Every structure is written in structure tokens, then in C-alpha cells.
């Protein structure tokens, strides 16, 4: 592609661009491809399942990914760290590398465990908090007959 051809294509693209601001949003005619009401829906069962899986993963990591403490006898270090210390004491560079590997591995496992625990706790909190919010909204917003007003009905008031 020649340079002048590139410049011509850039100019044509710039002409097609509107100078006004355009926000990405759901089209007024209900477009957007979702086919639904556009409301975000997260069921408590879904949140609970994800939180439970995060808890299980955290527990497995706690029990099965500890290479620093694996094979620990009376001492406070595991067999991998004992091997690293033994190799270092005999002048092998592999001992230091193995020790570094165990340290980095332990740090990474701890980070993943913390993330799993955070996800589990946050989803439990979110589930409880949203249930409480729904109860408050239902108590405050009632229809003429005293029944709770649905979220989709409330959404119509803001259009």
C-alpha cells in the first residue's frame, strides 16, 4: 500500500467519524443482542456455588501445596528445605536455587490461597448484603395493593 493511499484511507475514516460524543449503551429499541431486560442477575445459588468452589480450592492448596513443610520431622523445615540446606553446605549451587524455588513457590501458593479466601468471603458477604438490600427495598417500595414492586417496574420509572 502506497503512502498516499494510506493517507487517503485515514482521511475517509476521519470523515465518517462523528465529532459528537457517543456513549456505548443499550439502544432505545432494545437492541444490544441480549434479548433480555438488560438487568444484571446473579442468583444466590450461583454465588454460593462459586464461593464454595473457591473455599474447596483454598482448602486443597492449604493441605496439598506445601512443599516447604512437606516431610517435616522434628525440625521446623520440610524435606525440600532440608535437601536445599544439605546441598548448600556441600557447596552445590543447586542448594541455593532449590531454596529460592521453595520460597517463591510458598509465596505464590499463599497469594493464591488468599485470593481464593477473598473470593469465597466476598461472595458470601455479597449474597447476604444483596438479600438484605432486597428486603429493605421490598419494605420501602410497595404497590397500591401493598405488594412489593418488582425491579423491572421500578426501572420503568427511570426511563
Q: pLDDT, tens digit, for every residue of 16-63? A: 765 555 555 555 555 444 555 555 566 667 777 888 888 888 888 888
Which backbone phi and psi does 148 adopt, to 5 degrees? -70, 145
- Cα atoms found within 13 Å of the Cα of residue 21, Cβ hemisphere only: 1
- Please check the confidence at residue 129 and state whether its pLDDT lies above 90: no
Q: Is-contact 126 47, C-beta < 8 A?
A: yes
Q: What is the pTM of this model?
A: 0.49
DSSP state of 31: -
Confidence band for 90, pLDDT divided at 50, 70 and 90? very high
| Grid coordinates belonging to 130 | 444483596
List of residues 6+ apart from 81 with CB closer than 8 A: 68, 99, 102
* Nearest Cα residue to 103 out of 86, 71, 78, 74: 78
Which backbone phi and psi does 70 adopt, to 5 degrees? -65, 135
List of residues 6+ apart from 38 with CB closer than 8 A: 26, 32
Question: What is the pLDDT, as a whole number, of residue 18?
Answer: 57
Confidence band for 95, pLDDT divided at 50, 70 and 90? very high
Amino acid at each position: 500500500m502506497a503512502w498516499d493511499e494510506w493517507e487517503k484511507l485515514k482521511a475517509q475514516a476521519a470523515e465518517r467519524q462523528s465529532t459528537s460524543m457517543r456513549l456505548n449503551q443499550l439502544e432505545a429499541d432494545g437492541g444490544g443482542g441480549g434479548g433480555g431486560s438488560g438487568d444484571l442477575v446473579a442468583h444466590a445459588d450461583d454465588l454460593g456455588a462459586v464461593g464454595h468452589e473457591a473455599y474447596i480450592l483454598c482448602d486443597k492448596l492449604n493441605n496439598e501445596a506445601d512443599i516447604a513443610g512437606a516431610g517435616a520431622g522434628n525440625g521446623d523445615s520440610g524435606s525440600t528445605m532440608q535437601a536445599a540446606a544439605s546441598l548448600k553446605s556441600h557447596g552445590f549451587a543447586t542448594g541455593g536455587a532449590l531454596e529460592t524455588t521453595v520460597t517463591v513457590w510458598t509465596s505464590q501458593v499463599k497469594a493464591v490461597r488468599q485470593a481464593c479466601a477473598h473470593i469465597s468471603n466476598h461472595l458470601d458477604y455479597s449474597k447476604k448484603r444483596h438479600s438484605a438490600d432486597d428486603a429493605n427495598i421490598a419494605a420501602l417500595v410497595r404497590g397500591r395493593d401493598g405488594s412489593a414492586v418488582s425491579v423491572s417496574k421500578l426501572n420503568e420509572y427511570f426511563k
